[in-house]
Amino acid sequence: MATHFKHFINGRWETGVTLGVSENPSDLSDIVGEFARADAAQTESAIRAAVDAREAWGSSTPQRRFEVLDFVGSELLARKEELGTLLAREEGKTLPEAIGEAARAGMIFKFFAGEALRIPGERLASVRPGVDVEVTREPLGVVALITPWNFPLAIPAWKIAPALAYGNTVVFKPAELVPGCGWALAEILSRAGLPAGAFNLVLGSGRRVGQTLVESPLVDAISFTGSVTVGEAILAAASARRAKVQLEMGGKNPLVVLADAPLERAAEHAVQGAFYSTGQRCTASSRLIVEAPVFDRFAELMRQRTRALVVGHALERGTQIGPVVSREQLEQDLSYVAIGRHEGAEWLAGGEALERPTRGHYISPALFVAQPKQRIAREEVFGPLACLIRADDYEHALALANDTPFGLCAGICTDSLAKATHFKRHAQAGMVMVNLPTAGVDPHVPFGGRKASSHGPREQGRHAAEFYTTVKTAYTATG
């Protein structure tokens, strides 16, 4: 019998109004579980529970918050293999990647457990005699957390942990493709010692559950990670009622390879950044911008390495690239391969649907030589497709790197300290990598982008306080 993933509302597990099914993208005959799907009324009941819990959780001591978050972090770390297996089965990234993500989610909870003990504030002398000034951070109230499918443990963790650390109550809505991971996280939180209603999980569609959260006047703030289209609609709706909004959206991240870079190592970074996690990372290196003198050599290295990648079942030992998450995503990836060919981009490798012993959404990683204005070099594919783009020199490479509506992450491979330093200053991105893949970030420092990639304060690290708190300035007469 399939596991039944339920909502967690006001401290109780609830069945849904309708049911959905979560499939294993590596093996469509394997049903990960059935999941509850909420309607607007059930979502509103979760919002009301979060409103009612505001006082209890918002006035809880730092020690209590530390204990709750530390408990969740410890359990995630202790169960990383089991949770990683669920993640790999439901989302399709390889088992080592999935175990790494479960561990990262644990580290994030541990980090914010510590932050709960260090909520910052200031006490200053007033410009007036006999007056003290205090600047403190207070919870926002009810926050809605809406997340995508591609990091189904880590992204929820980096929203839920700071939301709770700073005293907010939460309604969490995971993506419909990964209800099992959302449920597993909620199951741990349900035993962590929170007051009823402080954390709620509502499963279901973006249109029903997501939109109800965005439009509810009882929701004080919304943190969203997902596509640009949905993010922009959320921004418009939330701004209209003046709710605080944080958006993390797409990317079309450049990795610049200069002629002085160790090419083998640069190719390793490019393959890792472009294709691991099946290219389904907002930080994926989808534009490989290579200086002309080494372009042909680098392209050949990339062609060989891309063709050698092992595509297979996410849970199978030796698999380097798991399946794509869903049939729709596979179709989107294949359609971009067709667009690339149609636009006249030069095909170097992959881009074909594959058959494996189990029926799943398999595709060989695709590599093209593209012109900067071609669609595959400009639009986010969110799959294993990368473009090589020729640059005349460093200045041209930098201009190409910045010639995108997005600005999440930008990387450079070079032996030149001067060029690396210049790139760090002038790349129009929220994150810059030097001699590293564009994907792969630390859990204790800010994450986020510029331009169409992000809106609002950064996530993660100490900067998370900027979104999850509101500042109060208090004046006290001392005499």
- Distance of closest approach, residue 307 Cβ to ligand NAD, in angstroms: 26
Pairwise CA distance, residues 98 & 16, whole Å: 28
Binder to ligand NAD among 73, 210, 384, 437 (CB under 6 A)? 210
Q: Which of 173, 208, 287, 419 binds ligand NAD (CB under 6 A)?
A: 173
Task: Please pick, from the candidates 250, 340, 365, 407, the single residue that binds ligand NAD as defined by CB under 6 A.
Answer: 250
- Write the binding mask 264 to 293 for ligand NAD: x where contact by CB under 6 A, - elsewhere: ------------------x-----------
Using rule CB under 6 A, residue 251 touches ligand NAD:
yes
Contact 135, 471 (CB under 8 A): yes
Q: Is 33 in the site for ligand NAD (CB under 6 A)?
A: no
- Our finding on whether 115 is near ligand NAD (CB under 6 A) is no
Q: How many chain residues touch ligand NAD (CB under 6 A)?
A: 29
Least Å distance between CB 195 and ligand NAD? 26
The three-point CA angle 200-53-65 to 5° equals 80
Identify which range of 90-98, 107-115, 172-180, 264-272 contacts ligand NAD by CB under 6 A: 172-180
Single out the residue of 233, 353, 434, 441 in contact with ligand NAD (rule: CB under 6 A): 233
Tokens of 51: 């409103």
- Binding letters toward ligand NAD, positions 313-352, x by CB under 6 A: ----------------------------------------
Active site residue 282: yes
Work out whether 176 is an interface residue with ligand NAD (CB under 6 A).
yes
**Cβ 76 vs Cβ 111: under 8 Å:** no
Does 352 qualify as catalytic in the annotation? no
Residue 143 touches ligand NAD, criterion: CB under 6 A:
no
Q: Is 207 left (phi over 0), alpha (psi -120 to 50) or beta?
A: alpha
Told to check if 235 binds ligand NAD by CB under 6 A, we report no
Judged by CB under 6 A, the chain residues 379 through 408 that form the site for ligand NAD are: 380, 382, 408
- Which of 75, 97, 115, 248 does the annotation list as catalytic? 248
Distance, in Å, from the CA atom of 273 to the CA atom of 74, rounded to the nearest integer, reads 29
- Residues of this chain, 428-467, that bind ligand NAD according to CB under 6 A: 453
Torsion of CA 45, 51, 55, 57, to 10 degrees: 70
Q: Give the binding range for ligand NAD (CB under 6 A) out of 61-69, 73-81, 209-217, 341-349.
A: 209-217
User: Closest separation between CB of residue 460 and ligand NAD, Å?
Assistant: 10
Q: Per rule CB under 6 A, is residue 147 in the interface with ligand NAD? A: yes
Sign of the CA dihedral running 433, 439, 442, 446: positive
Catalytic residue among 14, 181, 282, 387: 282
**What letter represents residue 16's amino acid?**
G
Q: Tell me which of 214, 337, 370, 377 binds ligand NAD, using CB under 6 A.
A: 214
Interacting stretch for ligand NAD, rule CB under 6 A, among 64-72, 80-88, 206-214, 431-439?
Answer: 206-214
Q: Which is nearer to ligand NAD, 375 or 422 (CB)?
A: 375
> Do 14 and 4 contact (CB within 8 A), yes or no?
no
Output 168 or 286, the one with its CB closest to ligand NAD.
Answer: 286
Nearer to ligand NAD, 256 or 282 (CB): 282
Contacting range for ligand NAD; rule: CB under 6 A; set: 19-27, 28-36, 147-155, 355-363: 147-155
Q: Which residues bind ligand NAD (CB under 6 A)?
A: 146-151, 173, 175-176, 206-207, 210-211, 214, 225-227, 230, 233-234, 248-251, 282, 380, 382, 408, 453
Residues with catalytic function: 248, 282
